[in-house]
Amino acid sequence: MSDVEALKKEAGIAACAYVRSGMNIGLGTGSTVKHTVVELGRMIHEEGLEIVGVPTSLATEKLALEVGIPLVKLSEIDGLDIVIDGADEYDPNFQLIKGGGAALLREKIVAQEAKAMIIVADDRKKVQTLGAFPLPIEITPFAHQATIRVLARTLDCRVNCRMAGDNPVITDNGNMIADAHCGPSITQPKVMESEILNIAGVVQVGLFNDMCDVVVLAGSNGVETLVNPNGRLE
C-alpha cells in the first residue's frame, strides 16, 4: 500500500467514530470513503453495529453489499443522521469541490438530506482557494456541446466534456460531466453555484456550499479532525 493510500485508509476509518448504532448513514463515493464503507462493514460483523446505509453511487452500493451493510432507498426513510463522503478540494470556509468520481448529483441529494456531513480526505485536498481541481458539472446529453459553450462563456474558462477513452463519461443518472478548468480562482463559490445552475442543460454542479461540518484529514503527522465552527457538530 502506498503512503497516500495508507493515509486515505487512516482517514476513512477515523470518520467511523461519528457513527452510532441506530443511525441512517449516507455512504459517499471515492477512493478515501471506500475505506469507511469497509470499516463500517467490519463494525457490523465484529462489534454488532446496527445501521442502515444509503449509497451515493452504484459502485458504493456494490461495495456496501459486499461488506454486509444493510441498504435502504433515501425515499424510504425520514432523512439521514450523517453522510460520510470524500472531496476533491476544500477551502478554509469548508466549501467543497466534489464530482471527480462523476457521482455529484446523487452525492448532493444525499448530502442535503443529512443532518451533518463528514468529509474524509488526505491533505492534498486542502486548498486556500477552490478551483485548481477542474470543477465537475453534470449536464444533460441533449445538446451537450451547446451547454458546454454557454458554460465556457459564463465562467470565462476552458470547459470540456469528460471522456473515458473515445466516449463521454456517463453518470449513474445517464448524464454527462463537463469539467470547468477555472484554476484556483473560485473566491465566491455560492455566487458561482447560482450562476451555473441558472444555465439550461445543467443538472447539478460540484460546488458543495455550506454543507460540510467536519473534515477528517490524514497527513504526514497522522489524522487531524477539523470542525467547522459554523457547522452542526461540535
Could you list the active site residues?
A: 107
How many other C-beta atoms are found inside a 10 Å radius of the C-beta of residue 110? 24
Sign for the pseudo-dihedral over CA of 172, 91, 121, 114: negative
Residue 75 cell numbers, joined? 425515499
- Ramachandran area for residue 125 (φ above 0: left; ψ -120 to 50: alpha; else beta): alpha
3-class DSSP state of 186: strand
> In what helix (H) or strand (E) does residue 26 lie, and over which residues does it extend?
strand 24-27
Query: Length of the chain in residues, anyone?
Result: 234
> In what helix (H) or strand (E) does residue 164 lie, and over which residues does it extend?
strand 163-164
Sign for the pseudo-dihedral over CA of 24, 30, 34, 36: negative
Q: Which residues contact 78 (CB under 8 A, 6 or more apart)?
A: none
Residue 120 is given by DSSP the state E
CA–CA distance from 110 to each of 20, 62, 166 (Å)?
Answer: 19, 17, 31
